[in-house]
Structure formats: structure tokens, C-alpha cells
Structure 1
Amino acid sequence: MAKPVSRKRTAPAKGAAAGREIVPPKYHTPLFILLILAALLVFFAGPIFQDKTFQTPDNIASLSMKTYNEQADKEGAFPLWIPYVFSGMPVYASLMGGGERWWDFTNEVWWKAQRFIEFFFPNRDVFWVVLNYFIFGAGLYLLVLKKTGNKFGSFFASLAGVFSTFIIIWIMVGHNTKVASVAIWPLLFLLVDELTERMRWLYAVLLILAVHIEIESTHLQMNFYIFFALGLYLLYSLIAKAVTKENVLGVIRSGVLLAAAGAIAFGMSADRYLSTFEYSKYSIRGSAPITTDVSSPQSKTQAGGLDYDYATSWSFSPGEVLTFFIPSYYGFGRQEYQGPLTNNESVPVETYFGQMPFTDAPEYMGVIVLLLALVGAGAYRRDRFVQFLIILGVVALFISFGKNLPLLFDLMFKYFPYFNKFRVPTLILSLLQFSVAILAGYGIAAVTRWHKEGLAPLGKKRLTYALAGFGGALVLSFLIKGAFESSYNAMIASSGKQIPSQLYGWMFDTMWSDLQISLGICAAALGLLTLFVNQKASATIVMAGL
């Protein structure tokens, strides 16, 4: 009888139990999307659940329409003309308001679905905007997931986009139609991408609906920016494929379908926008000037459009790029001061001293987001979509400079259709913030890949040098602070802004504190990523840290 072979029991691999995921992978995407909603509900808990409002001029001004709208509803009249503004003006054609358009079935279903969800929340006027932020975040998640396959990177990118400073404050300053517009941006890119890869009628129909919902946000400048971005994407894809001798039929197909979707969607909204186009020739965006300013060759032409000086008042200055890293470098905007000057009472003060007349906040995206976006751009520099995002971000930044970079801006202002109807060049930075958020998702994907597959010695050396650089700069910032205060105060004084000199010291301290916080965050993030790449930190620790 054969002797049974004894087998030694093998102990489970070290860390195997710890490596088991609490949530099965198939539930990761629903969980992350719920976390996006949870983050928004926590952030806006006061306005949503306590019936609070944002007391800003645009929010207060919108209340002036309340009586008019209630009267129109009571009489069953479709609001076309408002007699209470400028002795009377079109309300529907000026996009100030409108009634129920039952014949626009898809848009009515879209808004009715939102109204149904809002019903379960106390402050419906605030929650509908928060819901659009959620749609934006969920769309970003799906877009980045398709591009990278990294779920945490997609989640990070969605939060980076939604909570980018100048995007998240739109609800606070009453720019709600911008939120309704940006909510659809990721879905448009996702559908165009799918139709480039293969023809599916379902996606074609969804593209028509998405384009229609986008233009029904009624923020024409934001609509212009997303279609400009999509056109740039298709053009770049076409050129890149032609150069590498790849099949370009997919790009042509998606371009034709996008144009067709635009035409159909416009037809569905023709009653609104044909009225707007008819009215525009009587507004400052379309009428010729009453008098011609011969001293300014760039003033409004007889063809109409905004006056150049008015259109470029909110041009982004190259120096303000520093606010991407140090948010309060130019004073931030409106801040709360609490100190000896006000007997320790909190008082709002205007501290912005940049080139623009004023601003609500800096175009700050987060230093970790920027850091990861740079990592993603470098690691995936051969990826065609990443190349496009870099181009889009740079083009948006250059256009935002407005009168500070007339070589590009003036070409568009004079020759690009409808571009001279828009003001506030800085608004196009929303495309940069959109691009940076997605690139940050690529950055997470790159670091995850390096953790699994290893990173070349040169890459590890670069990480170490970057960590040492930021760490050294942080230490140095404590030693040289006093050397910069007088020059910074002089910069505030020479700006021409009416800021009390007693606030200069506080503003400098705030700015320098932001600098040190940014340096510290970058050093800590790089340290964490270095440990992760070298497999000395777990993914859980990295996710919690970021």
C-alpha cells in the first residue's frame, strides 16, 4: 500500500488578508459616484438642508423676476415681455426667462426629472444647481474611466473638476446657467469619442439629446466654448490620424454626426434662439455704435459686437498664473478679515489688486491637482487625448489673456464668428480647469502603473529631486519672508485699487502662508507618491492622503 504523501500547509502570503477589498470591484463605480454626490451634499449642507441662500448681487437680482413669473403663471401667459426693466424689454428673447415649452419634449422631460429629484430636498432652488454639479462630476468620472481604466483616478478627477475654485463658486455668485452648461461637457466628449470608434445609433441619438440639453442651458458663451473645444478635438484627431496614415473615417463620421446633432438640437430650440438672434441687433452685443470712436481702432465696428474695451475688461494677466499655485497672490478677491482693525469682528473686505476690475476668487485648481496633472501629461504624453488636453489648456489660457495677448485674441475677436459677442475672456479658463482635472486622473493612473510595474531609475531620481526641491523651498520660505514684504506692499499700492494700507501686512501674511501651505502640500504629496511607487505605502494610504 502506497504511503500517503504528506503535504505541508502553506501560510497565506503576507498581506493577503489585508489586500482583500472591503467592497467588491463591481461595486466600485456606483460607490465612487455616490461619494461624489455625498461630497456635494456635505459641502452644501447649509443651503440645501437649512434653507439658506447665497447673498450675492446676482442671486438677489434674480429675485426681482419672482413676482413677474408668478403673475405670468397665474394668468397662464407665456412670458415674452417684461415692462418693469428699462421701461420694457423682451424677457424671452433676452434669455432672462421663459415659460413651459411643452412641444420641446426632451427638454421638458430632462427638467421634469430634475424637478422630481429636487422635491425630496428642502431648498429646491439650491439643490437643482447642486444636482447639475453632480451630473458634471459623474460625467467626468465616466470619461476618465473610459480613457484610463483607473477608478480612483476617475473619482479624483471628478472631484478636482467639480471643486475647482472658480467652478464651484458659480452657484455662490448666482451664475447657475454656467453650471447647467458645464454639466454636459464630459458627456459630449464621451459620446463623440464613442462615435469616433464605432457607429451606434443609440450614441447618435444620445448625442442629439446631449447637444440639445447643452444649448438649453441658455448660456451662449459657455455653449460656444464647449463646441469650440469639440471642434478642436476633432480637428487635432483628424490631423494626427492623417499624419500617421490611420483611418480617418471615424473622425469624419463623428464630426458629421456632431454637426447634424447641432442642427437638429438648434431646430428643437429654434423658437428661443431665433427670437434671441432677432433681438440681438438691438442689444449691445449686436448693434452698431451710436458714435464711432476714431481714437480707438479696436472699438465696436459698424458690424456690431461688443466694444473691445468692454469685452476685454476681465482679461487674465500673465502674472496671475501665479494664483494657480498661490491663490491669494493677487489678494484672492473678497475675504473675511478678523483682527485688531475690526475689534476681532469678521468683516468682508475686497482684497483683489490684479488687472481686472474685480473678481470673486482666483482661478485656483489645487496644487495636488496641478502636480498630478503635470505627472499625467508627462507620463502619457504620447496619448492622443492627453496631447489634445494639453493643447486645449494652453489655447484656453492664451485666449483668456485677452488684450494682454492681442496677437491671438484680436484674431478671434475680429474674424471668428460670434466671438465678439462675448465678454470676460477669463471665462474660457473653465476649459483649462476641465483639462487639468482630467490630466490629474491620468496622473493617478500613471502612479498606479508605476506602483505595479516599477519605475525606471531616472524616473525615481526625478521624483526624489522634485521632493527635495519643494522641501528645500519650504524651509527657505521661513528664512526669507521678510525680504519680500516691502516689494509686495509696493505692488499693492501701485495697483490703483482702493485697498486700505492698514491691510497690506495682513494680505502679505495671507499670501506667504498660502505659499508655504502649497510648498508643504507638494512636498508631502511627492513624499507619499515616492513611497507608493517604491511599494512602501499602500494604495489605501495614498487614496486617503490625496
Structure 2
Amino acid sequence: MTKPKKTIRESRPQSENFLAKFNLNEIIPQKHHPWVVLLVILILFLIFLNPLYFGNKTFQSGDIITMESMKNYISKDRDGFSLWNPYIFCGMPAYALGTEPTWFNIIYTIYTSIRSVFASAFSVQYAMWSFYLIILGITSYFFVKYLTKNTLVSLFSAIATSFSTGIIVFLFIGHVTKLTSLCMYPLLFMILLKLKEKFTLLDFLLLVITLQIFIQGFHVQIIFYTLFSVGIYYIYYTFRFFKKKENDQLKGLLKSAAAFVIATIIALLIQADNFTQIYEYTPYSTRGTESLLEKEAPKTEKSESDYYNYHTEWSFSPEEVLTFFVPSYYGFGNSKYKGPLTNNQEVEVNTYFGQMLFVDVAMYMGILVFLLGLYAMIALRKDPFVQFLTILTLISLLISFGKNFPLLFDLMFYYFPYFNKFRVPSMMLVLVQMSMPVLAGLGLMKLISLRDGKNEKIKLIIRNISYAITGIFILVILLNNPISKWFVGRVNDYAASIQQSKPQLAQQHQVLADYTAQMFTTDLTLAFLFISIALWSIYLYLNKKLSADILVGVFILLTIVDLWRIDSRGAKYTDNPDIKSLFTKPDYISFIEQQNEKEPFRIFNLKQDGSIGSFNNNANFHAYFLIEDFYGYSGIKPRAYQDYMDVVGPVNPALWNMLNVKYIIANQPIGLPGLKPVYNSANTVVMMNENYLPRMFFINKIEKFSALEFLNKVKSGEINPSEVAIVDKDNLKIDAIDSTASIRLLNYDEALIEAEVNASGNNFIFIGNSYHPGWKAYIDGTRTEVYKTNHGYLGILVTKGKHLLKIEYAPESFFISRNIALVLSSLVILGLIVTLVIEIKRKRK
């Protein structure tokens, strides 16, 4: 009797209501879907980032301030292209910090012009960097649409990718060059998949352009990780096709690999101006080699930049994988507290208590995205592309553990080329953040297919799981208080563990324990709520109460709410004028400018009040006023400079004298010989260093000390830098100068020094600019050698008599690569235009 009833029940019309019969294609034709999706993505960003777009707000961090600091240097009128930045660390190559627009790269010019058109609609300049997040959403959509042919599922993955907390945080903290690369990541893999199936000239040219835009920001770490993922892709498919003896597929794969290699070479050649300069600088940077202490000191002695520890401080931990489920499981990065502790005033706090030093946000991708991605790994485990993404995700996750999983990380660190140049192992999680939304989209497609055929057993399983999750959701609400107490206990245990080493941080965690616990219980409750709603929606879909499009719409809506809620915690807005007000000219800068100095000099701000430009908050502030700073801020500072900081320390009169430091800024007078107070104001004293040496001066004697010995003698005061130097050249003989020797500076610019020199013999000149092979020297028009002097600075040997000395930073690699970029980028754009015209004509016929 039950069987006929079941048949009758199934025969009843169940698609009468709107939710059961809704179909996007019946409302919007397929051909218009891309434009609608583009509009939706744009609107979503306009809503979420509305304070940036319409509220005259911006983001503020050390990196953002540093970018603003370099604005005047980048926009400075100059003859030629800027190659040397003299304003921090006694000078460093401009490409390590940022240069003016590369007009000779036509692809870059077109792409950034589109970005400028977008940014022109908003008053806040920083809005232009959100352009890359929008592009990421668009490229993610097209990629998943290629895989699934489903518009709404593709939109779901696009939203999940572009609003992923671990991705959007780059906008919040000013790491925008990462977004420049990541926004092309989905498009790159889409083209590789298309080329595997069939090679076309159009796809090849698009691949060149994609790769070229991908490397424009030249964030080497992101580029490396992406190439690593491409390598996993080709290794996996080669092994698969070879094992299954699918020779035709293997040939297509090898053709696409050849196309990728050629396209990469062309893209690198177009970007070679950047690539060559960073490549040449790396061995002279803190990222490129070990410190002097690590090379020459006993193994037990460590510098502040101890190589392995320095590169693994931000190692993710296996326990923190739980933050993929509940983002505040280990507290959170930046969030806003408002309560009795601050008299109801909103303040920014950081409640993270995991193994890393600190984080800005949790690496959260959305609870439904995470679970759908896991579901795809299991339910679609036989699908080749799912297998590839699963392998890539797991390997990336394991590498992100850094020193917490040395079995894999150390293998990469010590034996994989260039891998040991990168800090922050947890950065590898970007590959997880990019892969999981794609897997989630494929998992959602699998859920949609469950309604095909017999599914009574599946319905029963989904219903039972739905009841279970809903029950857990209710229990979490009922047990909110004991769960909160358990979490407070975890926070207090952590605070106790760091009480001796970091008492202030420990106290902060204890004070904010209840706030952090409330954040955790809220996240946990909402996680089970979202899962419960999603599961019941699947159950209704399987029972034909909801259409597939409505089901996907539910997932989109839940994911938007979930991600926006977490993303907004890390979004620290500030009034846009406040950024500019930070660069109000301080009184000590005005005083120094009034001195009308005729020759180059440097300053050093030793103030301890935390003001911008001070010792602990340098932010390259003085570069904004085009004043050369002895100090600075950069993740890739010159290695030799850091060695001086490690061994000699920043406060050393002999070092100041050698490196042309004329003015010292402090909160109060400093009791060191040779410092004369010349300006006083509230909480600011400017002291002139009466013993400072000019930028160029003669040396009387070359000694054969090791670099470490020399630095230690500078530290102890045993060496007078105006008399003695060391040179990376054996058997270099010089004469002491007499009263006739002189140097008269004729011209000094960023990358050019010209001087009239009168040498009394074979005299040696020290120039206090950072050494780099790109420096060229000419005596009376004839090229002469530039010596690495005093472990990281310039030296030139001059013969007896009067000479015109010219020193310029002009690496030959730049001028060659600039011309290559102009020719190749022009040819690629021209080829694309011609190919598109031919393709359009072919389709019309």
C-alpha cells in the first residue's frame, strides 16, 4: 500500500511556487550573464568598501604610510628614469622600493590606464588598489564558468575568492603588489586548461598578457608560489597521462607546457627591467644572503636576523587549521573593541594568541566554502582537476606550517632554489585561499547533480545530518556560558605562558579575555547556523522545494554575510585627510631646509615618542620631503647596512661621521662628543654633528681587516673612518694625501655625482653611498673601477693630478631590458588586435 502512495506523492506537481521553478536563464539570457556578473561583483565591492569609495575614508598601516612616503620621490621631475633611491639606508636601487610608471611597457600602460579610469570615479586615491580585487572576482568567475558552465556557481566562487579574508586583507594593510599578481591567477589556469585541449594563437597571446600583468607588481614571493602551483599542475598531469597511456592528452599537455614556457619568457622579457634589477640587487639585500655575524662569528652567536628563525617566525601551525572553521579560535588579528574598558570608545585591538608573532586577520575563507571544498575533495576524488587542486592545497598547507613541519619545509628551504629568500611561510596559504573556492564551486555542482536519479538514501542522510547540526547549533546557544569560560581559560593559559617574556601583552590578553571569548562563541554559533541553513536548503532542493538556482543563491547570500562579517573586523578605516596630515612638515624639517645646504647630507631621527619618522616608526617619512635618511623601513634593506646595525648599532658617532650624517633629531640633547644643539622646540632637539664627513673624502690608508673586524673596530672607536678603509681588492696600493688634495662637488643628483678632484698621488676616495655593481665611474671620461669599500660602500682610486670624476648608477641590464620591453609589448598588443579582428571576421562569416 505504501508504494502506490509514494508514487502518487511523487506525481503531484511540486514546481508551482516561485522558489521551486526559478531559473536565471529564463530571466536573463545566457549571452548577457558575463556583463550582469561583472556588474554584481562591482556593486558588491561598492557596498562593502563604501567608506573607501564614498566616505572619504582610506586604510592606514606601516606599509601604506611607506607607500605615501615615496610619492614625491616617484613623481619627482627628473631627466631620465629613476634607478637609485638615495633617501633611505644610505641609498638602494629604486626598483626595490618602487619607481615611476614604466612607459616603455605598452601592456602595463594600457592596463594601468584602465585602472586609472576606474580610480578617477573616487576621491580617495587608495581606491585604485581595490581594482585588483574586482579583477580577481571577474577572472575567478570566468575560470569557474569554464569548469562548470554554471553562472551562479561561478559567481559563488568569484565572491568567495575575492572576499576571502586572507586575500582582501592585502588591501587593508597595503600589500597591494600581491593583489596585482593574484588577480591573474584564475585566468592563468583557465588558459592553461584551454591550451591543453587545443592550442590557438589567441589563447597564447592572452597567456602572454596574463603572465605579463601577473608579474607587473613583481611580488617575487607570490610569483614564486604561483609558478610552484603551475609546476605541480604539470607534474600531476604528466604522471597521470603517462600512467594511463593517454598519449594524445600527454601531447596536448606538453604543447601547453611549451606554450607556457615561451609565454613566460616573453612576459619576463617585457618585465625584464624589473626582473633584472631585483635579481641583481638580491645578493646585496637581507633577503639574498646571510648576515656577516652568521658567516664569520661563532655558530653560537646570532644576529637579530638569524637566517632560519628570521624566515620562519610566521609559521602557521596545524592547530590553527581550526581557524578555517572558526576564525577566532586563536583570537583574531585586528578588531575593534568598544566597551567598559575604554569608556565605550572604539579602539583597535589584536587578540591573536597563536604561535606566530602576530597576524592582521585569520586566514578565513568562509565556513561553507571550506566545507564544500572538503566535500569536493571526497565526492569528486576521481576527477583529475579536483585531484590536482587537492594535492596543491595539501602541499601548500604543509609548507605553510614552516618550522612546525620541518620534514617538508626544511627540504624546500635548504634545497629548493630561491625558496629560502622568502619570509612568512604562512604566506603559502594564498594557494589554499585560491584553490578552495574553486573546489567549493565544483562541490556545489556535485550537490546540484544529486537530484538526478534515485536519491532517497541521500535525502535521508542529508535530513539526519541537518537535524544533527541544528541540534548542535541549539546546544552551542544553550552552553554559551561554559564554552565562553573554557575559552577564557585558554586565553589565560596563553597569557601565563608569556608573562615573563611579554608581560604587557600577557596583561592585554587577560583584560580582553571576555571580549575574545564572546567573539569566539559568536563565530561558533554562526558557523553552525550557516551550516544548518545550508543543509536544510539542500534537503529542500532534493525534495524539489527549491530550484538549483535558488539553492546556489542561498549559498551566495550566506557566504557574503559570513565573509563580510569577518572581513570587516580587519578593515581599519581612517579619514583620508589624516593620511595627508601625517605628512605635515615637522618643524625640524623646516629648520633643516632653511639651512640651504649646498652639499649632500643625511639626517637621523632618534626620537623615542613613536611619532612618524622617529626611530621606531620611521616609515621612510623623511623621503617624502626629499631629505636623505641614514635610517629607513623596508623588508629588503641592504645586507651591508643591516650588518652595521647588527654589529655597530645605529647609535655610533664614528659610523655617523663616515656616512655623512650631519643632523641628529631627538627628544632631548644627547651627551655624545661633537653633537651641537642648533634648534629646540617642544619635545624636539636638532643637533648638528660637527665631525660629520662629506659624502666624498680621501682615505689615507687601506688596511687588511676582515669585514667583521672592521665593523667591530668602528664600534669600539679604534678606527677613524676618515683615515682608514678596507677594500674588497687585494694588493691595492694607495698614497697618503697632502695639502694639495681636494674634492669639489659639481653636481649631485639621485643617481649621478660629478666632482672636480685634485689628487696628490694615487689617492683613494670613499663615497658614502651603498655599493651595488650598477654604479659606474669615469675619470676624465674613461671608465674606472668602483671598489666595494668598508663592507658596503663605494671607493674609487684616482691618479695624481686634476680630474673630472663622474659616478652614476646606470646598470647596463636596465637599458637593454627597457628596449626589449618596448618592442615585445608593442608586438604582443599588435598581434592580439590582428588576431581578434581575424577571429571576429571568421565568426561573422
Alpha-carbon separation, structure 1, partners of 2:454 and 2:396: 33
Alpha-carbon separation, structure 2, partners of 1:348 and 1:320: 23
The 10-residue stretch of structure 1 (19-28 or 178-187) with the greater mean CA deviation from structure 2? 19-28
Show CA shifts across 1:121-147 (max 9, x none): 333431x22221111111111111111
- What's the CA shift for 1:513? 1.8
**Corresponding position of 1:444:** 444
8 Å CA contact 2:152, 2:549 repeated in 1: no
Alpha-carbon separation, structure 2, partners of 1:495 and 1:76: 58
SS at match of 2:349: strand
- What's the CA shift for 1:259? 1.3
- What's the CA shift for 1:401? 0.2
Match status 1:515 vs 2:516: no
Please give the TM-score of this superposition, normalised by the length of structure 2: 0.59
**Corresponding position of 1:58:** 63
Map residues 410-489 of structure 1 onto 2, 5 A cutoff: 410-451=410-451, 453-454=452-453, 456-480=455-479, 481-482=481-482, 484-485=486-487, 487-489=489-491
Alpha-carbon separation, structure 2, partners of 1:526 and 1:455: 19
Alpha-carbon separation, structure 2, partners of 1:472 and 1:536: 23
- What's the CA shift for 1:221? 0.4
**Corresponding position of 1:6:** none
Alpha-carbon separation, structure 2, partners of 1:43 and 1:110: 24
**Corresponding position of 2:551:** 542
SS at match of 2:284: coil
Alpha-carbon separation, structure 1, partners of 2:117 and 2:79: 22
Change (3 A) 1:528 1:404: same
**Corresponding position of 1:180:** 180
- What's the CA shift for 1:374? 2.5
Change (3 A) 1:538 1:199: closer
8 Å CA contact 1:312, 1:423 repeated in 2: yes
Question: Which amino acid in the other structure matches residue 101 of structure 1?
Answer: T
8 Å CA contact 1:80, 1:90 repeated in 2: yes
Question: Which amino acid in the other structure matches residue 85 of structure 1?
Answer: I
Q: Which has a greater percent of strand?
A: 2
Question: Which amino acid in the other structure matches residue 61 of structure 2?
Answer: T
**Corresponding position of 2:510:** 501
Question: Which amino acid in the other structure matches residue 521 of structure 2?
Answer: W
Match status 1:287 vs 2:289: yes
Match status 1:100 vs 2:101: yes
Alpha-carbon separation, structure 2, partners of 1:14 and 1:485: 47
Alpha-carbon separation, structure 1, partners of 2:473 and 2:79: 64
Map residues 313-332 of structure 1 onto 2, 5 A cutoff: 313-332=313-332
Show CA shifts across 1:49-74 (max 9, x none): 33321022211121111221232xx2
Q: Which has a greater percent of helix?
A: 1
Alpha-carbon separation, structure 1, partners of 2:212 and 2:189: 14
Displaced runs of 4 or more, over 6 A: none
- What's the CA shift for 1:469? 3.0
**Corresponding position of 1:84:** 87
8 Å CA contact 2:492, 2:510 repeated in 1: no
8 Å CA contact 2:492, 2:513 repeated in 1: no
Change (3 A) 1:265 1:486: closer
Alpha-carbon separation, structure 1, partners of 2:464 and 2:298: 56
- What's the CA shift for 1:444? 2.0
**Corresponding position of 1:162:** 162
Change (3 A) 1:287 1:14: closer
8 Å CA contact 1:306, 1:420 repeated in 2: no
Map residues 69-468 of structure 1 onto 2, 5 A cutoff: 69-71=74-76, 74-92=77-95, 94=96, 96-126=97-127, 128-247=128-247, 248-292=250-294, 295=299, 307-451=307-451, 453-454=452-453, 456-468=455-467
**Corresponding position of 2:539:** 530
Question: Which amino acid in the other structure matches residue 120 of structure 2?
Answer: F
Alpha-carbon separation, structure 1, partners of 2:117 and 2:345: 42
Alpha-carbon separation, structure 1, partners of 2:16 and 2:472: 37
- What's the CA shift for 1:332? 0.7
8 Å CA contact 1:455, 1:533 repeated in 2: no
Show CA shifts across 1:292-321 (max 9, x none): 365579x99xxxx98110111100011111
- What's the CA shift for 1:13? 10
Question: Which amino acid in the other structure matches residue 70 of structure 1?
Answer: S
SS at match of 1:170: helix
Alpha-carbon separation, structure 1, partners of 2:497 and 2:155: 40
**Corresponding position of 2:652:** none
Question: Which amino acid in the other structure matches residue 495 of structure 2?
Answer: A
8 Å CA contact 1:50, 1:122 repeated in 2: no
Change (3 A) 1:45 1:442: same
Match status 1:41 vs 2:42: no
Alpha-carbon separation, structure 2, partners of 1:100 and 1:352: 39
Percent identity between the two aligned chains: 37
The 10-residue stretch of structure 1 (272-281 or 352-361) with the greater mean CA deviation from structure 2? 272-281
SS at match of 1:189: helix
RMSD of aligned residue pairs (Cα, Å): 2.3
Alpha-carbon separation, structure 2, partners of 1:309 and 1:103: 41
Alpha-carbon separation, structure 1, partners of 2:15 and 2:517: 52
- What's the CA shift for 1:172? 0.9
The 10-residue stretch of structure 1 (153-162 or 105-114) with the greater mean CA deviation from structure 2? 105-114
The 10-residue stretch of structure 1 (248-257 or 473-482) with the greater mean CA deviation from structure 2? 473-482
Question: Which amino acid in the other structure matches residue 90 of structure 1?
Answer: P
- What's the CA shift for 1:461? 3.5
8 Å CA contact 1:188, 1:211 repeated in 2: yes
8 Å CA contact 2:22, 2:547 repeated in 1: no
8 Å CA contact 1:286, 1:306 repeated in 2: no
Instruction: Kindly tell me the number of residue pairs found equivalent between the two proteins.
Output: 524
Question: Which amino acid in the other structure matches residue 523 of structure 1?
Answer: S
Alpha-carbon separation, structure 2, partners of 1:311 and 1:39: 37
- What's the CA shift for 1:363? 0.5
Unaligned runs of 5+ in 2: 1-12, 499-504, 556-845
8 Å CA contact 1:381, 1:387 repeated in 2: yes
Change (3 A) 1:14 1:387: closer
Change (3 A) 1:461 1:265: same
- What's the CA shift for 1:445? 1.1
Change (3 A) 1:30 1:374: same
Change (3 A) 1:477 1:272: same
Question: Which amino acid in the other structure matches residue 331 of structure 2?
Answer: G
Alpha-carbon separation, structure 2, partners of 1:500 and 1:397: 28
Unaligned runs of 5+ in 1: 1-11
Change (3 A) 1:495 1:190: farther
8 Å CA contact 1:492, 1:504 repeated in 2: no
Q: Which has the higher contact order (CA 8 A, sep 6+)?
A: 2
Question: Which amino acid in the other structure matches residue 91 of structure 1?
Answer: A
Question: Which amino acid in the other structure matches residue 520 of structure 2?
Answer: M
8 Å CA contact 1:380, 1:386 repeated in 2: yes
Alpha-carbon separation, structure 2, partners of 1:539 and 1:215: 39
Please give the TM-score of this superposition, normalised by the length of structure 1: 0.91
8 Å CA contact 2:353, 2:491 repeated in 1: no
8 Å CA contact 1:284, 1:306 repeated in 2: no
The 10-residue stretch of structure 1 (175-184 or 438-447) with the greater mean CA deviation from structure 2? 438-447
The 10-residue stretch of structure 1 (148-157 or 495-504) with the greater mean CA deviation from structure 2? 495-504
Show CA shifts across 1:425-454 (max 9, x none): 111101101111001111221222223x14
